Amino acid sequence: MKNQLYLLCVIVLIGYSCTDEKTDQKNTSVQIIGQEIIIPRAKLSDKIKGGWAGQVIGCTYGGPTEFRFNGTMIQEYQPIPWYDGYIKSWYDNAPGLYDDIYMDLTFVEVFENEGLDAPALSHAKAFANAGYMLWHANQAARYNILNGINPPESGYWTNNPHANDIDFQIEADFAGLMSPGMVNSATEVCDKVGHIMNYGDGWYGGVYVAAMYSLAFVYNDVEHIVSEALKTIPEQSQFYQCVNDVINWYHQYPNDWKATWFEVEKKWSSDIGCPDGVFRAFNIDAKINAAYIAIGLLYGEGDFGKTVDISTRCGLDSDCNPASAGGILGTVLGYSNIPEYWKMGLVEVEDIDFKYTSISLNDVYKMGYKHAIKMIEKNGGTIGEVNLEIMLQVPEVVKFEQAFEGHFPVERKQVDWGKKTMNKENPEYVFEFEGIGFVLTGNSQKDDKMVEDYTHIAEIYIDGELSETVNLPTSFTTRRHDICWKYKLTKQKHKVRVKLINPKPGYKLWLGDIVVYSDEQKIYNK
């Protein structure tokens, strides 16, 4: 009865015409009949193309502003370029911009080679051994996998200080695009892939984005998509509360996206996890960047240009957020209905392989369509010559996860300038802190970039006991994102000693900051 009532509400809400007949083969619209979605093959293909193209357009548009506006919005008087040939220019001169897409393609290719039941470890190995550069949760996970910590432990917060970061949120598009109308099937893909690099709110970001993509095949009402997808996220999570706040503020300030942006900034701008963002304006946390996706979609009102522009002008990760918003709305509209102004120059790049891959947009249009067909069939749908019958899934809430539970950052201090470099002359570094956890940022470096890479080995002692022995490669692609960390310690004064085992002339460990955690949050000026 619950599902029947849900579907009845869906039919009334989206206003699609439904009949007693299975479908009119000349009808190009999406229909809901009983528990099934009827979608023409051509419509499915057009929506999948719109999703991938929308990502590229949004990512390109926001590219020049990425993390250049932290803690502030991009005002309307600030020009953001867009012209014929602009996409090709980025492809030619800065193809690394499109990590939003070529990261997705790693997982798409695993499904292509191994089928829909490809295990998490296959995805993890492909991801860890890919040639592209990574940062934050992705790089921490890559290091973990290369050093024997496999998923889901590779994304778990005690093994990955960046577990709440945006990484899987920007890579989950494929999961929704291969699961039209099948929200829970998208979640299953997210469970397999997203826990490679994230946990808790960081994982929820991918689940939520994938759910919006999945629903974008069925509904035209963007507000409904934003709200309905949130049903997959546990209400007790901060991710849910942040996005739900956005929806409520949208109702309170329906004509002023900046008012909602200010409310988000006031309540949700404090990053407690990412060592690069704690006590800084830089914020790569999944939930606040997801809020900016939602702001773009809600205030964009179904207008493609307005949607990607607002998502971009919210700042922070301002290429990834419009890429997600543009991809979701591109799926709603379909490739054929994305305005020509925003598609200008796209045809120039559609046959060009993304960097680090042998896959182009035209390739992934076809692969994505093929995987969607297989997913429909796997989940009880019917594959007709003209039309497809998809079993509509009612969104189910995923399990509750919380990273950094009971941990609150209380101090950030720079390593003294005279002690920032560890080498043969200074092979040890010792510091003390009071609390329940810490992160020591930094990296392994070589003095001459032209010489071969080297892997430092360091022993980490906490309160006189060996905590771990770590490899610290100078290679950017295989590096450890942070020198060392430890959470869940007893609340007391602790002493940490970093001992460099194999110093080598021309190479060094560079130490950055120490982030300290306690079991209670300190509030100042209250």
Higher pLDDT, 155 or 2: 155
pLDDT at res. 22:
32
For the segment 446-454, the average pLDDT, to the nearest whole number, is 95
CA angle at 57 for the pair 54 and 63, rounded to the nearest 5°: 135
Tokens of 84: 């014929």
For the segment 251-277, the average pLDDT, to the nearest whole number, is 97
Distance of alpha carbon 284 from alpha carbon 165, whole angstroms: 6
Determine the 3-state secondary structure of 71 from DSSP.
coil
Residue type, 66: E
Q: What separation, in Å, do the N-terminal and C-terminal C-alpha atoms of the chain show?
A: 51
Distance of alpha carbon 6 from alpha carbon 363, whole angstroms: 37
Q: Which letter does DSSP use for residue 507 in this model?
A: E
Residues 6 or more apart whose Cβ sits within 8 Å of residue 324: 55, 58, 100, 169, 170, 173, 209, 293, 311
**Residue 1 in this model has a pLDDT that exceeds 50:** no
| Cα distances (angstroms) measured from residue 120 to each of 150, 190, 219, 225, 368 | 9, 10, 31, 28, 19
Distance of alpha carbon 174 from alpha carbon 377, whole angstroms: 17
**Residue 201 in this model has a pLDDT that exceeds 50:** yes
From edge to edge, which strands make up the β-sheet containing 382-383? 31-33, 36-40, 387-391, 382-383
pLDDT at res. 114:
98
pLDDT at res. 26:
36
Q: Which letter does DSSP use for residue 453 in this model?
A: P
HSE-CB of 325 using CA atoms within 13 angstroms? 37
Mean of the per-residue pLDDT values of the chain: 94
> What's the sign of the alpha-carbon dihedral 212, 123, 277, 202?
positive
Which percentage of the chain shows pLDDT scores above 90?
A: 91
Tokens of 54: 């929308």
Distance of alpha carbon 169 from alpha carbon 203, whole angstroms: 7
**Residue 284 in this model has a pLDDT that exceeds 50:** yes
Same fold, 2-391 and 408-518: no
> What's the sign of the alpha-carbon dihedral 335, 336, 338, 343?
positive
- Domain spans in the chain, listed from the N-terminal domain onward: 2-391, 408-518
> What CATH code is assigned to 2-391?
1.10.4080.10
> What's the sign of the alpha-carbon dihedral 466, 467, 471, 472?
negative
pLDDT at res. 526:
61
For the segment 196-217, the average pLDDT, to the nearest whole number, is 98
pTM score of the predicted model: 0.94
Class of domain 408-518: mainly beta
Residue 277: exposure state from Cβ atoms within 10 A (0-12, 13-18, ≥19): buried
Q: What is the pLDDT of residues 75-86, one digit of tens each?
A: 999 999 999 999
Q: What is the pLDDT of residues 234-259, one digit of tens each?
A: 999 999 999 999 999 999 999 999 99
Nearest 5°: phi and psi at 372?
Answer: -65, -40
Q: Which letter does DSSP use for residue 285 in this model?
A: B
Nearest 5°: phi and psi at 39?
Answer: -135, 130
For the segment 99-111, the average pLDDT, to the nearest whole number, is 96
Residues 6 or more apart whose Cβ sits within 8 Å of residue 421: 508, 509, 510, 511
Q: Which letter does DSSP use for residue 348 in this model?
A: G
For the segment 378-393, the average pLDDT, to the nearest whole number, is 96
CB neighbour burial string for 437-472, b if at least 16 within 10 angstroms, e if fewer: bbbbbbbbbbeeeeeeebbbebbbbbeeeebeebeb
pLDDT-derived band at 366 (thresholds 50, 70, 90) equals very high
Distance of alpha carbon 36 from alpha carbon 19, whole angstroms: 12
Distance of alpha carbon 157 from alpha carbon 152, whole angstroms: 10
Any alpha helices (H) in 230-351, and if so which ranges? 238-252, 257-268, 286-300, 304-313, 320-333, 340-343
